[in-house]
Amino acid sequence: MQLSPLLAGGETYRQERPPRFMDEARIKRMRWRTRRGTRELDALFGGWLDEAFAHAGEAQQQAFDELLDVQDPDLWDWVMGHATAPRADWQAIIDDIRARHRL
């Protein structure tokens, strides 16, 4: 939230940031979080952020945000098809990443 100009009597009021600003800030934060320990994971997850995140529903966006908390070896195993993600919403994102890159 940001403070807006003074009202009569010296009071200020709080004004919510516009949704677009919040979306841009969220994307920047997510962009940083998609930087992983390998170039391959950077490209796969950063690519999904670029290509699919904006079109995803709020639930899927939240799932992607939570997916980025997972350790790289687990993400790699899921993306390579060596294991499946423990959550169906994560697996749906992994499947989409795999399909986009023909893995």
DSSP H helical ranges for the chain: 19-33, 39-51, 58-67, 72-80, 88-100
Looking at residue 23, what is its pLDDT? Answer: 81
Mean pLDDT of 71-89: 97
Q: If pLDDT is split at 50, 70 and 90, which confidence band does 87 have?
A: very high
16 CB burial (10 A radius; 0-12, 13-18, 19+): exposed
pLDDT above 70 coverage of the chain, percent = 79
Is residue 54 over pLDDT 60?
Answer: yes
